Structure 1
Amino acid sequence: MEARTIALIFISPFVVAFIYAGIHEFLRYKSEGRTNYGLVYDEETGTTHVTGIAEDEEPYDPEDFDPSDYNDPEVGAGPEDRKT
């Protein structure tokens, strides 16, 4: 195969994903209007993700994060409950 063909094969999934995300965001914008995006903390899993946030909500501030507040569900499980 030619180098251009191989490069096109590797790049095409990223192009398709980018176009899909652009269309999805445009349709969301047309139906809901402008939105603010920010970092949101999920206390249940201890993870953060970027999502649209409401006007009255404050985004997650990493400076205020205290790792000792996170409740790890695996810590409380006994050895018989864990699967290896």
Structure 2
Amino acid sequence: MDVRLIAGLILSPFLIVFVYAMWSELLRWKSEGRAQYGLTYSEETGTTHVTALEEEDAGFDPETFDPDIANEHWEDSGTPDSDDDTQTRGT
């Protein structure tokens, strides 16, 4: 097989995903207007993710995050991440 054909076959899935993302963002932009994306924090799961922010929302600032407060929240809720792993061992 030709090297260019192999390279095209390898790169085509990435191109398809990129074009799909561009198309869906264009449709969103036409219906909703310009969006500001930022990092948001979920206290329930303790994770962050990138999403479109509301106009009045400033987003999550990792510099102001205090991990001790988040750890206290997880310890109080009794998640399987705690020191007692009897729930995961099945005993």
**Higher RCO structure (Cα 8 Å, ≥6 apart):** 1
Percentage of identical aligned residues? 45
Counterpart CA distance in 2 for 1:74 and 1:20 is 38
Q: Which has the higher helix share?
A: 2
Matched, 1:4 2:16: no
RMSD: 2.0
Matches within 5 A, 1:1-84: 1-70=1-70, 71=74, 73-76=79-82, 78-83=84-89
One-letter amino acid matched to 2:20:
Y
SS in structure 1 at match of 2:18: helix
Deviation of 1:43 after TM superposition, in Å, equals 1.6
Which has the larger Rg? 2
Q: TM-score, normalization: structure 2?
A: 0.79
Q: TM-score, normalization: structure 1?
A: 0.85
Aligned length: 84
More divergent stretch after superposition (70-79 vs 36-45): 70-79
Structure 2, unpaired ranges of 5+: none
Q: Deviations over 1:5-55 (max 9, x none)?
A: 111111101100000000000100111111111111122222211110001
Structure 1, unpaired ranges of 5+: none
